Structure 1
Amino acid sequence: MLSQLYIKNVAVISEASIGLQPGLNVFTGETGAGKTILIGAINAVLGERVSKEMIRTGETRATISALFTGLSPAAEQALAEAGYPVEENAVLIHREISADGKSSCKIDGRPATAAILRSVSALLINVHGQHDNQQLLSPQKHLGFIDSYGELDGLVREYQAAYRDYMLVRRELASVNTDEAQKAHRIDLLSYQVNEIEAAELQPGEEEELRAQRKLIQNSLHVTQALGGSLAILEGGEEVPSLTSLLSELAENMTQAANYMEAAQPIAERLTDISYELEGFPGEIQDLIDHFDCDPSQLDAIERRLDTIYNLKKKYGSSIEEILEFGARAAAELEEIETSDMRIEKLSAQLSSLEEKARSQAERLTQARTKAAKLFVKAVQGELIFLDMPSVQLSVCQEHKEMSLDGADELELFIATNVGEQAKSLAKIASGGELSRIMLSIKNVLADRDNIQTLIFDEVDTGVSGSAAQKIGKKLAQVAENRQVIVVTHLAQVASFARNHLFISKAAREDRTFTTIRPLSREERVRELARISGGEKISEIALRHAEEMLRDAGN
């Protein structure tokens, strides 16, 4: 249960530490005192979306902490699976909102994400706000009520898995089973592309090699002249000494000098090495000249080959590698289309089997929903009778539809508000007070299907008064016998049933508004119930009536 709630710098709440107890806890106070802000703070610490606007004016950050104790095994397991093992059967959740719009979350002092908070808090607490009544106005939500009551999550998951498999093969079959004319056109195109690429017999790196050959042929004269000139320099002529003999003579002179001058020794050695190496150059250059086979007639063939590669690149890719990859993909698609008849036959058989399985699962789910709907209506009807709505007849309109992800059923809640009237859509004829009591009835019925230990109701009594309000208080007290219930209310009849009554008030000090939240003593409860019932001017009659309400409620 939620044992302690700490709030700092949230709207008009400067700082508040709120102790909550098992059973029924109620919050009352004047309009605008901060009751809605309190619910917003609880939602924030549970991981809901927050805005920097909730930070108190003049402050840079807001913080909310919630201490949960006596956790259920399911909540402990969820926390452990999320990486936050529980100690001493308690967990502290903390959230901080900064003025720059960022927020941080912690579980037992360790960082967490808002998504983790939401997943974990779903097993800790269930908040029912006024906007939740709008779920009754949306027939799409009614299916969820029946599935939750019938505990059909397992059946729903099994059906959804079968339906997804069926739709996957159905989409694949649709993509394969194209029009014959379109298929023939595609085969012609792919065949042409594959044949054109294969006929070219391209090789990776071929284009670079061809360009190098072309460059060499185009400059063959320069190459032969350069090679011959280099050889002439090295070998010399009749009137010109060779470079090798000159270098050899130079090395010999330096060697002679080194015999008498130690500093010349390194130069002599280097020149000797160079002269030895240079002696091999003429033979190597002569070998290049002898083997230089450059046929200018090959230039035309090279240009034609480069043109072929260029034209293919314009169609299929920016390089030979990309062209070959395109050809491989086209060949694979061509083979797939040419064998599509066999594939269609195989997929059709597979689709038939998967459709049969999905429809079988859908039928099982439909039958389970039909059974659960009857029990759900009966259970909610009993709650409505208790809440002074004996004439209201609730029913479920269940119709078949084409399979979709949520099944093959359309479900909608119908009511007849008076005996003898025809049942009509709940979304069209229910009043605000009726919606509040119907939603409370549904929440109470569904509460028995989960292990959530804390339920929060924000002004669940909207639109009701008199004996109906008293019945709501009594029903909330009954629910609170087995779990913690927290209620924000404007009705004394509801507040009188609380075991822990907290009062929210606001006051102005030094041009600032401050909200305080404190538990009431029994005497203070009498005055608060009298104020709620009769206004600010509290009479003796109002006090006696408040006292009587508390006694009737067992307080």
Structure 2
Amino acid sequence: MLLRLNIKNFAILEHVELDFHTGLTVISGESGAGKTMIIESINYLYGKRASQEDIRYDTEGSIIEGVFDFPDTPRMKELLEEYNISEDELYIVRREIMQNKKSIIKLNNHMITLSQLRTIMEEVVSIFAQSSQLDALDKRKHILYLDKFLEIQNEDIFSEYQKDHQKYQAIVKKIEELEYRDRNRRDSLELYQHQFQEISALELKEGEEEQLEEELEYLMNFEKVFDSLSAIKALLSSEKSPQGTLYELNQQVESLSQYDSEFKDYSPTIMDGYYIVQEIEAHVTSAMSSMDYDEQRLNQIQERLNSINFLKRKYNKTYEELLSYLEELDNDIQELENISHSFEKLNSEKEALLADMEKNADALHTFRNERKHFLESRIQKELMDLEMSQVDFEIKTRQDKFHARGYSDVQFMISTNKGEPLKEMNKVASGGEMSRVMLAIKSIFAEYDQQSILILDEIDTGVSGGVATKMAEKMKILSRSRQILVISHLPQAAAISDYHLYIYKDSDGERTITNTRYLTDEDHVYEIARMLSGQDVTEAALLNARSLIKTNTTVD
């Protein structure tokens, strides 16, 4: 649910801070006071693309921040893990829209993209407005409604189809990549073969470069090495050699340790030094006897390293990367040479998957056709509750191309007048009728939807009387399982609400400022009376308001 909303410099809203509650909250107020901008700010938290036109005039930018309690669902856990966001008790969504700067989006102080925000918030909130495209009008979602109602996701054939469809999509992608590569195959193959021959001609070996550089360093400093070895040899062969000194030192320490035990531990260390010096002497003698300056070998090494460095510069790679690249080239050449075989193999796999998909898609299509009347009857009943008894509702299904849920094309059809042919809802239903259809659908799917927030922006425009009462009752029932925020002009909706938020305008003498407050019981009655009678609130209107509130408390 939405716990808190903080808005700064957004449209006509200078600074609005609101706490929200569970249940049904109705938002009402003066025309032009900014009711819709409250919902529009939540739309930004939902993932609306930023527009600098929404920044309050003469300010640097807008900041919208919402504190949410996200639903604890497997899908939400999966998304948070995917986007590297730690699970928490509360989640703060923040949008910053600045003049001539890129919009900033944060979730718990973690930068995310607009697409990621929208994906997450689709699991949290639904927003409906007559002025915008409703879910019920979005033909792509009709199959989702039908499948949810029929619980088709629990059928084995559905999971089998989805696995096959994912494999099918992956194979189609591979085939497209191969087709692209095949168009450039000849040029690519010639290039890869040339590069492979050029690099493989050097017969590079693991660790060779490092070995050559060490050998080159030795030969280029041959005289220095010889002089150093000679100096060490002379030092070790002198009358006062280190090994002689260490041997004599050890004898004296051993003698002294008979009288002073502290010297006992030094003898092994001295002898270690003695043996190390002996090893050095043997190594120096061996090194000097095998020393041989080979100018021809020096030239060979330099030529070899020059050839290696030329390729490193040409391909902009290290020695190790050249070895890896040679292996990549070999694989690419084999793949391009065998591209026909790859095409045959992939197309064969694709055809086998298509056969399995068609079999399961047939079964899913039949499943929908045989059971769709259950949802038709349920929606028809809900519409009758909303005094739309003249409406005919039907779910039309036909075979279409394969998609993630089979090949069924599902479309909700409606006729709002008896005897009129069924048509697509967006071509028939008025705003008020569409609002009732949406409420009917939401009422049915309340138990299936895991979104915890439903926002309704003036969906009751164009309805009144008994229809308005029925719509208000549906909202109240829906609010038992989720948080509902409603902008409404209907006194019936206000009377049935758990909380009544009033939006009004003030002026500081220079600019108009929007303010908000939750109404007390007395103010709640007065506002409903105003909604009933207009600006002039009479005693009769107040009596009607109290009666309406009393009557509507029975819905709970």
Question: Normalising by structure 2, what TM-score?
Answer: 0.66
Give unpaired runs (5+ residues) of structure 2. 180-184, 203-294, 296-328
Which residue does the alignment assign to 1:162?
164
Question: Aligned-pair distance for 1:173?
Answer: 8.2
State how far apart, in whole Å, the 2-side matches of 1:24 and 1:333 are.
63
| 8 Å CA contact retained: 1:76, 1:85 | no
Instruction: Read off the aligned partner of 2:3 and give its amino acid letter.
Output: S
Question: Aligned-pair distance for 1:76?
Answer: 6.4
Task: Note closer, same or farther for the CA distance 1:151–1:512 as it changes in structure 2 (3 Å cut).
Answer: farther
Which residue does the alignment assign to 2:552?
553
State how far apart, in whole Å, the 1-side matches of 2:522 and 2:515 are.
19
| 8 Å CA contact retained: 2:394, 2:414 | yes
- Residues 273-312 of structure 1 mapped to structure 2, 5 A cutoff: none
Instruction: Read off the aligned partner of 1:90 and give its amino acid letter.
Output: L
State how far apart, in whole Å, the 1-side matches of 2:84 and 2:170 are.
35
- Residues 22-171 of structure 1 mapped to structure 2, 5 A cutoff: 22-69=22-69, 71-74=71-74, 77-78=77-78, 80-81=80-81, 82-87=83-88, 89-152=89-152, 159=161, 161-163=163-165, 165-166=167-168
Instruction: Read off the aligned partner of 1:125 and give its amino acid letter.
Output: V
State how far apart, in whole Å, the 2-side matches of 1:502 and 1:68 are.
19
Task: Note closer, same or farther for the CA distance 1:157–1:29 as it changes in structure 2 (3 Å cut).
Answer: farther
State how far apart, in whole Å, the 2-side matches of 1:55 and 1:47 are.
16
| 8 Å CA contact retained: 1:159, 1:365 | no
Which residue does the alignment assign to 1:481?
480
| 8 Å CA contact retained: 1:67, 1:90 | yes
| 8 Å CA contact retained: 1:52, 1:97 | yes
| 8 Å CA contact retained: 1:436, 1:463 | no
Question: Aligned-pair distance for 1:116?
Answer: 3.4
Question: Aligned-pair distance for 1:496?
Answer: 1.3
Which residue does the alignment assign to 2:13?
13
| 8 Å CA contact retained: 1:72, 1:453 | no
State how far apart, in whole Å, the 2-side matches of 1:362 and 1:59 are.
56
Other structure's SS at 2:553 match: coil
- Residues 406-421 of structure 1 mapped to structure 2, 5 A cutoff: 407-419=406-418, 421=420
State how far apart, in whole Å, the 1-side matches of 2:178 and 2:109 are.
55
Question: Aligned-pair distance for 1:92?
Answer: 2.5
Which residue does the alignment assign to 2:442?
443
Q: Find out whether 1:544 has 2:546 as its counterpart.
A: no
Other structure's SS at 1:553 match: helix
State how far apart, in whole Å, the 2-side matches of 1:71 and 1:29 are.
31
| 8 Å CA contact retained: 2:4, 2:66 | yes
Other structure's SS at 1:506 match: strand
State how far apart, in whole Å, the 2-side matches of 1:105 and 1:546 are.
43
State how far apart, in whole Å, the 2-side matches of 1:351 and 1:109 are.
45
State how far apart, in whole Å, the 2-side matches of 1:24 and 1:170 are.
48
State how far apart, in whole Å, the 1-side matches of 2:145 and 2:426 are.
15
State how far apart, in whole Å, the 2-side matches of 1:460 and 1:475 are.
13
Other structure's SS at 2:503 match: strand
Deviations, residues 39-98 of structure 1 (Å, cap 9, x unaligned): 1111212332122222211221222222224743447625752333344x3223222222
State how far apart, in whole Å, the 2-side matches of 1:149 and 1:533 are.
38
Which residue does the alignment assign to 1:377?
376
Deviations, residues 300-331 of structure 1 (Å, cap 9, x unaligned): xxxxxxxxxxxxxxxxxxxxxxxxxxx99999
Question: Aligned-pair distance for 1:102?
Answer: 2.5
- Residues 238-253 of structure 1 mapped to structure 2, 5 A cutoff: none
Which residue does the alignment assign to 2:229?
none
State how far apart, in whole Å, the 1-side matches of 2:376 and 2:550 are.
34
Instruction: Read off the aligned partner of 1:85 and give its amino acid letter.
Output: S
- Residues 505-520 of structure 1 mapped to structure 2, 5 A cutoff: 505-520=504-519
State how far apart, in whole Å, the 2-side matches of 1:468 and 1:80 are.
41
Other structure's SS at 2:466 match: helix
- Residues 340-379 of structure 1 mapped to structure 2, 5 A cutoff: 349-370=348-369, 373-379=372-378
| 8 Å CA contact retained: 2:61, 2:99 | yes
Task: Note closer, same or farther for the CA distance 1:144–1:69 as it changes in structure 2 (3 Å cut).
Answer: closer
| 8 Å CA contact retained: 1:146, 1:372 | no
| 8 Å CA contact retained: 1:124, 1:453 | yes
State how far apart, in whole Å, the 1-side matches of 2:503 and 2:158 are.
44
Other structure's SS at 1:493 match: helix
| 8 Å CA contact retained: 1:440, 1:460 | no
| 8 Å CA contact retained: 1:8, 1:14 | yes
| 8 Å CA contact retained: 2:446, 2:481 | no
Question: Aligned-pair distance for 1:147?
Answer: 3.3
Of all paired residues, the percent bearing the same amino acid is: 31
Instruction: Read off the aligned partner of 2:84 and give its amino acid letter.
Output: G
| 8 Å CA contact retained: 2:76, 2:120 | no
Deviations, residues 476-518 of structure 1 (Å, cap 9, x unaligned): 0011112211111111122211010001111222220100111
Task: Note closer, same or farther for the CA distance 1:491–1:101 as it changes in structure 2 (3 Å cut).
Answer: farther
Question: Aligned-pair distance for 1:142?
Answer: 2.4
State how far apart, in whole Å, the 2-side matches of 1:499 and 1:491 are.
15
Other structure's SS at 1:399 match: strand
Which residue does the alignment assign to 1:394?
393
Question: Aligned-pair distance for 1:539?
Answer: 2.1
Question: Aligned-pair distance for 1:438?
Answer: 0.4
State how far apart, in whole Å, the 2-side matches of 1:436 and 1:133 are.
11
Instruction: Read off the aligned partner of 1:26 and give its amino acid letter.
Output: V
Instruction: Read off the aligned partner of 1:438 and give its amino acid letter.
Output: V
Q: What is the RMSD computed on CA atoms of the aligned residues? A: 4.2
Task: Note closer, same or farther for the CA distance 1:551–1:172 as it changes in structure 2 (3 Å cut).
Answer: closer
| Bigger Rg, structure 1 or 2 | 1
Question: Normalising by structure 1, what TM-score?
Answer: 0.66
